[in-house]
Chain A
Amino acid sequence: MLGLGPEELGILALSLRVAVVSVICSLPLAILVAYGLARLSFPGKTLVDAIIHLPLVLPPVVVGFALLVLFGKRGAIGSVLEEWFGIVLAFRWTGAALASAIMGFPLMVRAIRLSIAAIDQRLEVAARTLGGSRLWVFLSITLPLALPGIITGTLLSFARGLGEFGATITFVSNIPGETETLPLAIYTFTQVPGGDAGALRLSIIAVVLSIIALATSEWLTRRSSQLQSDDRH
């Protein structure tokens, strides 16, 4: 397919799997956190906001190291996960997905939060007076109206996940077939003599994927905002 070797296809598939799983698992939490930050006021809100944004400003290696300490086999959370649920994240592709999710989380929350904050809250009040419970109003009014932000956030986080390098290599290392995603594979090629051609081929794939993600985001956002004609004058 497109002149890609089985090895390259494997890398591509792994990268996509890591990014997709990371986005699917983090989306519900991101929506809840974004709603909380946009609509509720509670003590410590600024702190929560800062913690969520940390991965955006910290060196990714630091995030990876923190994950290693917390989710490693002997880490505070990692040991519990393994003992109780038999889930191991360290040095597995699932760990790479976790690293991607955390690095992409601030981008996702930011986009969703902005679109929730832009919704006229009185629409939700109107829906309540029409008989909608809090939960139903959230599902039938808030979520659909926040859709453009949800799409943007998801695709930003997806793209960020595809390109994740520092936190991933620190947390789950660079194991071919298990944790060697696209950026890690490119890095590997650049470290061996004569690997430039391979690095270039993979880099082109990365560029194409990113463009597709951005174009899709743009298209979906435009479609959904056309669908929900803006009522405000």
Chain B
Amino acid sequence: MIDIDIEQQLGAFQLAVKFSVEAPIVGLFGRSGSGKTSVINAIAGIAKPLRGLIRINDAVLFDAAQRIDLAPEERRVGYVFQDALLFPHLDVESNLLYGQRLRSPKERFIEEARVIELLGLGALLRRKSKALSGGEKQRVAIGRALLAQPRILLMDEPLASLDVPRKTEILDYIERLRDELNIPIVYVSHSVTEITRLADTVVVLSEGKCLAVGDVDEVMGRLDLKPATGRYEAGSVLDTRVTAHDSQDQLTTLAFDGGELIVPHLDASIGERVRVRIRARDVSLSIRKPTEISILNVLPVFVAAIDEETGPIVDLELAVGSATLVARITRRSFQQLGIRTGQELYALIKAVSFDQRSVGYA
């Protein structure tokens, strides 16, 4: 359980954030300058709020009313920085053990061997931090934070300085940590892809305020959050289960309570939970059920909400079972089809529009 209720003044910027969440991975999402880093800096004790309360499970880290303000070293909060910040004068092993050596044996619950195995660090131990690639540095930084035996792990845009293959690699490692270790993670990012792939619960921040808190599939599909989630990135998230693999065509079928989705082959077993993100601009609409068409996914939906701004684009929130899809179409199509709230339509989604990065293994 993570309880945050803080107010802080940073120059002209005012931060007033309050949320209470419990999830294996909490996504802290917002554009740059929205106050994401300020929030986790306050959790880590790097910056001091004016007022408020910070509590992780039963541990009160900060409580202005009771004058509690633990020093960073007393908080047991693991912090993974954007650019790793490995100690340049120490080799990988000494970096890893820096925090562990400062904890008494009875405080230790994460073993060195386990972390080295989970993050694949075995071959790197004797290396100097200079001799590591960006992705390796980030893995060592994660291991170092874990071995300090934290009650929570904070990650501040840990993929920001990595190229795409490294990003995917680190995402896989973070998913392993979530599944293997029982440590809540607060994951800060401005990337919708990363947040929807990893997070279960999302906190959306904008201009130092908390705009929304909730399940990732509910929050990310909300049209009213579009200014904060970004126009280009608009989309929705579906929580699905793998029901079949077609080995001949290399396709995977996913089921959710609004129907089925066919996507390019996924490396997941039958029954496994998979979260897919569908970008609004990948969803087309049809009044009648189309036939003789290359698009594999045709879902009956009805229009729940219409976001009609000025400009050439209209976003529609579509209900499909209990899930939500967002479709983005031109104003011209919108007018030609005469779409109204409550109308029944067919949503068309090309199977090839799903990519590996938009699919998370929940």
Contacts and interface: CB of A to CB of B under 8 A. Distances in A.
Given A122-B81, A125-B46, A131 B102 contact: yes
Contacts of B81: 122, 126
Given A125-B72, A136-B102, A231-B130, A130 B85 contact: no
B87 interface: yes
A233 to B, nearest CB: 8
B116 interface: no
B89 A129 contact: no
A130 B88 contact: no
Contact of A231 (B44, B71, B86): B86
Contacts of A127: 87, 98
B102 to A, nearest CB: 4
A130 B144 contact: yes
Given A145-B89, A228-B89, A229-B128, A126 B102 contact: no
Interface string B85-107: 11111000000001100110000
A58 interface: no
8 contacts: A123-B85, A125-B46, A128-B45, A129-B46, A129-B145, A129-B148, A130-B144, A132-B98
- CB-based closest 6 A-B pairs: A229-B130, A130-B99, A228-B89, A231-B88, A131-B102, A128-B72
B4 interface: no
A131 B89 contact: no
Nearest to A128: B72
A156 B310 CA distance: 70
Contacts of B79: 126, 129
Nearest to A228: B89
Contact of A230 (B44, B130, B148): B130
A66 interface: no
Contacts of B46: 125, 128-129
A129 B72 contact: yes
Interface residues of B, number: 28
A136 B86 CA distance: 17
Interface in B5-64: 44-46
A207 B87 CA distance: 40
B85 A126 contact: yes
A178 B72 CA distance: 53
Interface in A213-230: 227-230
B184 interface: no
A127 B86 CA distance: 10
Interface string B137-158: 0000000110010000000000
Given A123-B87, A145-B89, A129 B77 contact: yes
B129 interface: yes
A141 B87 contact: yes
Interface string A112-135: 000000001011011111111100
A128 to B, nearest CB: 4
B143 to A, nearest CB: 11
B186 to A, nearest CB: 13
A43 to B, nearest CB: 22
Interface string B111-136: 00000000000000000111100000
